[in-house]
């Protein structure tokens, strides 16, 4: 299968909010408390079953460029979904989510489906969460997106987040193109056999 037939999902957020850790925990069941700043882009591929069809997704992780405001347009291009991550213990990282979404929408358009993850829930305190939840909910209501608290350390809500995101992408494609296995902007989205998620390191 060529890369063109795979649905692309990008992960975005400030440096150190836990993007790489979330992907690593979800796809490889690994959590490294000393996770270094990402140096290489990583890709994770997975198939989901959508109404009886297998749909292939590729999740893109950054190579740490977000720390230098240096994410290239190429990273966003052709994305049909995005996971926006902030750190619930450093709420300033949520303000940046709005900036990432604006940039994303400028490059790929308003049809992009995104979900927001408030990560590091395992070390959050209730008072801080309560203080900030209204801001989060208002933004999500305005943008029509869903928010999950997550923990890359414990795995809390990761399955729910990924399942919701991939299903929402399929729903959106069905709604806008009539089906996930039809031509979308000239690209054929193939139906492939189910297989275990596999991790790929290194550049494409």
Residue 173 CB burial class (10 angstroms; 0-12, 13-18, ≥19)? buried
18 binds, among ligand GDP, Mg ion, none (CB under 5 to 8 A by kind): ligand GDP
Residue with the two structure tokens 């550049």: 203
Our finding on whether 24 is near Mg ion (CB under 5 A) is no
Our finding on whether 119 is near Mg ion (CB under 5 A) is no
Stretch that binds Mg ion, among 19-27, 125-133, 160-168, 193-201 (CB under 5 A): 19-27
Our finding on whether 181 is near Mg ion (CB under 5 A) is no
Spell 19-47 as b/e; 16+ CB within 10 A means b: bbbbbbbbbeeebeeeeeebeebbbbbbb
Nearer residue to ligand GDP within complex by CB, 39 or 74: 39
Closest by CA to 16, choosing from 36, 39, 40, 46, is 36
Residue with the two structure tokens 């408390």: 33
125 binds, among Mg ion, ligand GDP, none (CB under 5 to 8 A by kind): none
21 binds, among Mg ion, ligand GDP, none (CB under 5 to 8 A by kind): ligand GDP
CA 98 to the chain's CA centroid: 15
User: Cα-flanking dihedrals φ and ψ of residue 175, to 5°?
Assistant: -70, -40
* Residue sitting closest to ligand GDP (CB): 18
Residues at the site binding ligand GDP, with contacts judged by CB under 6 A = 13, 15-21, 32-33, 35, 37-38, 119-120, 122-123, 151-153
Residue with the two structure tokens 């590091």: 120
Stretch that binds Mg ion, among 35-43, 85-93, 114-122, 189-197 (CB under 5 A): 35-43
151 binds, among Mg ion, ligand GDP, none (CB under 5 to 8 A by kind): ligand GDP
Backbone angle region of 120, left / alpha / beta, with phi > 0 → left and psi within -120 to 50 → alpha: left
Considering the complex, what minimum distance in angstroms separates the CB of residue 179 from Mg ion?
Answer: 34
The correct pick among 7, 13, 20, 71 for binding Mg ion (CB under 5 A) is: 20
């Amino acid at each position: 299968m060529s890369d063109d037939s795979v649905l692309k999902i990008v992960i975005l957020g400030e440096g150190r909010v836990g993007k790489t850790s979330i992907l690593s925990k979800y796809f490889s069941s690994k959590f490294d408390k000393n996770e270094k700043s990402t140096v290489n882009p990583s890709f994770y591929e997975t198939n989901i079953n959508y109404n009886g069809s297998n749909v292939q997704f590729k999740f893109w992780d950054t190579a740490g460029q977000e720390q230098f405001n240096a994410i290239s347009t190429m990273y966003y291009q052709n994305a049909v979904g995005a996971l926006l991550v902030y750190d619930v213990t450093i709420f300033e990282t949520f303000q940046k989510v709005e900036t990432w979404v604006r940039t994303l929408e400028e490059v790929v358009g308003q049809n992009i489906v995104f979900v927001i993850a408030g990560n590091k829930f395992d070390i959050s305190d209730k008072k801080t969460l309560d203080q900030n939840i209204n801001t989060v909910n208002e933004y999500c209501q305005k943008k029509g997106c869903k928010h999950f608290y997550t923990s890359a350390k414990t795995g809390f809500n990761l399955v729910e987040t990924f399942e919701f995101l991939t299903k929402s992408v399929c729903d959106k494609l069905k709604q806008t193109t009539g089906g996930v296995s039809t031509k979308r902007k000239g690209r054929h989205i193939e139906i492939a056999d189910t297989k275990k998620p596999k991790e790929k390191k290194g550049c494409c």
